[in-house]
Amino acid sequence: MKGAAAEDRAARYLEAQGRELLARNYRIPGGEIDLVSREGACLVFTEVRHRSHSRYGSAAESVTPRKLALMQRAALEYLSRELGRDDLPCRLEVLTIDGDVNSGTLQLLPLS
Summarize pLDDT for 40-81 with one digit per residue, the tens: 999 999 999 999 887 888 898 888 999 999 999 999 999 999
Structural contact between residues 46 and 14, judged by C-beta atoms closer than 8 angstroms: yes
CA dist 108 to 18, 79, 93, Å? 14, 22, 7
pLDDT of residue 36: 98
Summarize pLDDT for 99-111 with one digit per residue, the tens: 999 999 999 999 8
What is the distance between the terminal CA atoms of the chain, rounded to a whole angstrom? 29
Report the number of distinct structural domains present in the chain: 1
| Domain assignment of residue 73, given as a range | 2-110
**Apex 36 CA angle, 66 and 29, nearest 5:** 45
CATH number, residue 39: 3.40.1350.10
Average pLDDT over all residues of the chain: 92
**Which of the residue ranges 14-23, 31-40, 52-61, 103-112 would you say has the lowest mean pLDDT?**
52-61
The Cα 76–Cα 105 span in angstroms is 30
